[in-house]
Structure 1
Amino acid sequence: MPRSPLQQSDDHHRIAALAKLPVFLDLSGKRVVLAGGSDAAAWKAELLLACGAEVDLYCEAGSMSDALAALGGHPQLRHHVHPWHCGIFPGASLALADCETDDEAQAFFCAARAAGVPVNVIDKPAFCQFQFGSIVNRSPVIVSISTSGAAPILAQAIRQRIETLLPPALKHWASLAQTLRDAVNQRLPQGPARRVFWERFVDRSFATNAPPAGETATALLNTAQEIASAPRVGSVTLVGAGPGDPELLTLKAMRALQAADVILFDDLVSSEVLELARREAKRFLVGKRGGRESCRQEDINDMMVRFAKAGKRVVRLKSGDPMIFGRAGEEIARLESEGIAVAVVPGITAASAMAASLKTSLTNRHHAQQVRFVTGHSKDGDVPGTVDWASLAGPNQTSIFYMGGRMAQRIEQRLRDNGMSPETPVAILSSVSRPQERRWSGPLRNLPDAMQAIGYDQPVLIGIGSVFGELDQDGQRMPGQVCRDARAYAV
């Protein structure tokens, strides 16, 4: 039975496991208890004061560091010249302390918990209910990075990289967004139109390192009015998800995933790629994989048309590149016949990922003057009958068979029947670019047995041609090995 695509997919986790829940707490005007007089306590006090908290500091005068003493004139810092005690916690939103010993840390921790106040003892993770991240400050834009205490230096390095990516003027654009929000909400209803406005706002804010000019607010509100008066029209974007590694996604693919209302994704799209999509997008698994239940292409086409006509931005997410063995032509034709705007975002096709993984040029000038991408099976369960096997068996070319695992024996037989040497080098890659990638290399005559060992559960590529002659049996390049000339494999 064909798989029904009408139910929203729950086959992939919407959110991967989190070590900690990131929360941004409003402390403006809230009371916070801080015990200790060290430099570490001074840094926490400065951070809390920057958030608008009312800080009650408990430490004896002689134990206060110079850094903490320098904050003494702050109107929201109240210094109590005595140690902390159990009566200081009622009414506090947070409790922090810098304790020298574990016994004191445990006492502070237990006293705060008994009062129902979240507690953090500086540099003592066992006595912390929450942790502070490394901060990138473009307030009201705030980025906080946490490694759950495992590697603070790593968090600092990540912060430094993010600092270089976010222009200082971003804080001014974020402030402008705050002032515009109510006016935009009045002009645009919640939903796609409002999101289109804010996407254009983001594009404009990241296109410059300068703060917004005086007339920017008026221009943006005019844009909101134009969006409000425009007819609601949906669209479809065919997006290449690449071979599986999320780092191989293009920037344009990322933007499409972040803007989608609906995502129809193939069975072979990795969960790591889906993790990068917009959280609110509805996702439907419409996969087609050889030997398994699959959705009918007509059903997928109908879904795209229905969602687009409802005004949704649809992403048809395909493994690899949508224009290579992805039935994109059928989908584009149907969408255009319905008058629906359609765009294509190319992806890295599996053959390119295979070449990169093997560090093997598919067009090594000593071996191949052409590359052929060939489907490894037909809809009737055999090798394609329309393929020119005599041409594929010729020299000076590289052939990559997609989805050919179950047809490996017939591929080998057809090529040998048409004159290809049984010693011609072959490479097999399963789950290319993914952590479970498997590979094999050897002569054509061993292809069927090798395919049995690799298995059929994961997507497979079969590469055939003398460019693979530098690989050992495990698909690794042999150091110092010189490629034999293509003629060496001729019959």
Structure 2
Amino acid sequence: MSSIPVFLTSEKHHILIVGATSAAMAKVGLFTPTGARISVIAPQVTDALREAGLLPEDTGRDLLIHDRPFSEDDLEGKTLVYIGVEDDLTEERILRLANTRKLPVNVIDKPAKSNFTTPAQFSRGPLQVAFSSGGDAPVFVRRLRSSLEKILPPSLGVLAAAAGAVRARVKTIIPDGTRRRLFYDRLYDNAGTYADLDQTEVERLILGAARTHRVGATTGQVQLVGAGPGDPDLLTIKAHRALQQADVIVYDRLVSRDVLALARRDADLIFVGKREGDHGIGQDGINRVIVEEALKGRRVVRLKGGDPLLFARAGEELEALRAHDIHVEVVPGISAFQGIAATTQIPLTDRAHASSITLVTGHLKDGAYKDWARLAGEGQTLAVYMGVKGAPKISAGLIGEGVKASTPVAVVENGTRANERRFYGTLATLPEVVTQNNVKSPALLLIGDVVSTAADLAWAAKESDRLVATA
């Protein structure tokens, strides 16, 4: 079921919980600390509350307790209704009356009968995290909550409460919004520093850190971030953090939409990619964009497919940023040759086939092709980036230098993505493989005997043997 994620202001609500079951007591325990007004109604409900340790003298919280059966008047003034009774007729009656009054009603553990559900949740001080699958996958929700609870330390709650208490004073010390957000980002990254401290001490430390934080008209910073070959699961944790903290993201054509979806929602996205027959704003234009954005005091992510230092013209961008004394950091990424080796299960080096691997681009700055003489052959693996258009010249050049025409070749388009396509052939048939399958960029060429070990080829060989054996 689809649902609307909403947090309600607790002190503005009066919750009615009907029932003395363990499920009803669980709801009492869940809502008692929130400060909402709570009425609990059922025969022997006092005994159930006592057994659960939820009486006001146990919790120190107010609770309206009615040791009697439900009546229609109990719905008056209530804003949320929970039903946790064992009797089906009573359940149906309360549900019908609540629906007639158009009240939000939850029949505990029966989402099909409810018009709202209460998500799984946990908190760290003022930080509240809620999860819901609409009742479709409760085990997944439980596992997700458990995973997050493990990685978010309890000290984060104290830090959040302290940050909230001094928020106005921090705003006075760091008036610039971007600088202040960067300060809080750094505070979160160092949450472990504040473990085992009380809130008053943490407040003092936060204010001290704010006073020493650089403020005023300072330049921003730039991160050259590797987006990987396309599968968002291959993005590094640091790259994901950079996307979440960026004010502006300058990205190229090789960055997948799935990766961009992980960016901070209010970040500005600037496309600077090149397309067939369209070079866009060019490298000089890209350099100008990232410099100008950084000089505005913004946190800039220059997002590049694969690894930012491999065939990505990072050197020119680093030079431009350094010329303006802009702080720059490089966040590495998984390159296409690594991701594709994984999806095809081709070991790029192998004791039986290759002791070295060479990475080349299919064209150079001046458009000329490389001298292929020492790049491939027996005992070597060659990975060619941007080699689709140059496939005929690559094939002819390598064969002309003595590389066997029968050398296995893999051509992989959109490697690691959902629309990945894989084709196999030999060095001699490479041009045909590209043209007959209409291979488009981004694509990688893998050339060498290691290609013969690809999982696809191993499966095909096994299937062929099976067919021969059964013929």
Fold-level similarity (TM above 0.5): yes
Aligned to 1:298: 284
Within 5 Å, give how 1:259-278 maps onto structure 2.
259-278=245-264
Distance 1:216 1:140, change over 3 A: closer
* Superposition deviation, residue 49 in structure 1: 1.0
* Superposition deviation, residue 466 in structure 1: 1.0
Moved more, 41-50 or 183-192: 183-192
* Superposition deviation, residue 455 in structure 1: 3.5
Q: 2:17 matched to 1:43? A: no
* Superposition deviation, residue 351 in structure 1: 0.6
Distance 1:185 1:210, change over 3 A: same
Listed as ranges, the gaps of 5+ residues in structure 1 are 1-17, 480-491
Question: 1:461 is matched by which residue type in structure 2?
Answer: L
Moved more, 99-108 or 41-50: 99-108
| Distance in structure 1 (CA, Å) of the matches to 2:50 and 2:93 | 26
Of residues 246, 249, 273 in structure 1, which corresponds to 2:235?
Answer: 249
Of residues 335, 342, 346 in structure 2, which corresponds to 1:349?
Answer: 335
Aligned to 2:63: 77
SS at match of 1:421: coil
* Superposition deviation, residue 400 in structure 1: 0.6
Distance 1:62 1:397, change over 3 A: closer
Q: 2:42 matched to 1:59? A: yes
Question: 1:244 is matched by which residue type in structure 2?
Answer: G
Higher helix share: 2
Aligned to 2:146: 160
* Superposition deviation, residue 41 in structure 1: 0.8
CA contact (8 A) 1:187 1:228 kept: no
Q: 2:412 matched to 1:429? A: yes
Question: 1:272 is matched by which residue type in structure 2?
Answer: D
| Distance in structure 2 (CA, Å) of the matches to 1:478 and 1:63 | 73
SS at match of 1:42: helix
* Superposition deviation, residue 334 in structure 1: 1.9
Of residues 414, 425, 430 in structure 1, which corresponds to 2:397?
Answer: 414
Moved more, 270-279 or 447-456: 447-456
* Superposition deviation, residue 267 in structure 1: 1.8
Of residues 436, 439, 446 in structure 1, which corresponds to 2:429?
Answer: 446
Aligned to 1:467: 450
Q: Percent identity?
A: 38
Within 5 Å, give how 1:92-171 maps onto structure 2.
92-98=78-84, 100=86, 107-171=93-157
Within 5 Å, give how 1:143-292 maps onto structure 2.
143-189=129-175, 191-207=177-193, 209-211=195-197, 215-227=201-213, 229-290=215-276
Distance 1:459 1:102, change over 3 A: farther
Question: 1:57 is matched by which residue type in structure 2?
Answer: V
Moved more, 198-207 or 299-308: 198-207
SS at match of 1:468: helix
Aligned to 2:296: 310
CA-to-aligned-CA distance 1:190-234 (integer Å, 9 cap, x gap)? 511211221222133134643358644333212212336454221
CA-to-aligned-CA distance 1:64-97 (integer Å, 9 cap, x gap)? 7467775344652222344434433343231211
Q: 2:358 matched to 1:375? A: no
| Distance in structure 2 (CA, Å) of the matches to 1:269 and 1:368 | 31
Question: 1:186 is matched by which residue type in structure 2?
Answer: T
SS at match of 1:161: helix
Question: 1:145 is matched by which residue type in structure 2?
Answer: F
CA contact (8 A) 1:38 1:63 kept: no
| Distance in structure 2 (CA, Å) of the matches to 1:129 and 1:244 | 40
CA contact (8 A) 1:332 1:342 kept: yes
SS at match of 1:136: strand
CA contact (8 A) 2:230 2:416 kept: yes
* Superposition deviation, residue 331 in structure 1: 1.5
Aligned to 2:383: 400
CA contact (8 A) 1:440 1:473 kept: no
Question: 1:111 is matched by which residue type in structure 2?
Answer: L
Question: 1:327 is matched by which residue type in structure 2?
Answer: R
Aligned to 1:366: 352
| Distance in structure 1 (CA, Å) of the matches to 2:87 and 2:396 | 75
Aligned to 2:467: none
Q: 2:370 matched to 1:387? A: yes
| Distance in structure 1 (CA, Å) of the matches to 2:184 and 2:379 | 53
* Superposition deviation, residue 242 in structure 1: 0.7
CA-to-aligned-CA distance 1:269-312 (integer Å, 9 cap, x gap)? 12222222222211112222445664422222221121111111
| Distance in structure 2 (CA, Å) of the matches to 1:161 and 1:92 | 35
Question: 2:418 is matched by which residue type in structure 1?
Answer: P
* Superposition deviation, residue 319 in structure 1: 0.5
| Distance in structure 1 (CA, Å) of the matches to 2:120 and 2:446 | 47
Aligned to 1:489: none
CA-to-aligned-CA distance 1:111-148 (integer Å, 9 cap, x gap)? 33443432222122123232222222322222222222
Distance 1:420 1:215, change over 3 A: same
Q: How many residues align?
A: 461
| Distance in structure 2 (CA, Å) of the matches to 1:289 and 1:35 | 63
| Distance in structure 1 (CA, Å) of the matches to 2:341 and 2:192 | 35
* Superposition deviation, residue 62 in structure 1: 7.8
CA contact (8 A) 1:234 1:311 kept: yes
SS at match of 2:15: strand
Moved more, 431-440 or 468-477: 468-477
SS at match of 1:123: coil
* Superposition deviation, residue 99 in structure 1: 5.0
SS at match of 1:112: helix
CA contact (8 A) 2:372 2:397 kept: yes
Distance 1:66 1:236, change over 3 A: closer
SS at match of 2:197: coil
* Superposition deviation, residue 335 in structure 1: 2.0
SS at match of 1:316: strand
Listed as ranges, the gaps of 5+ residues in structure 2 are 463-471
SS at match of 1:238: strand
| Distance in structure 2 (CA, Å) of the matches to 1:281 and 1:62 | 52
Question: 1:34 is matched by which residue type in structure 2?
Answer: I
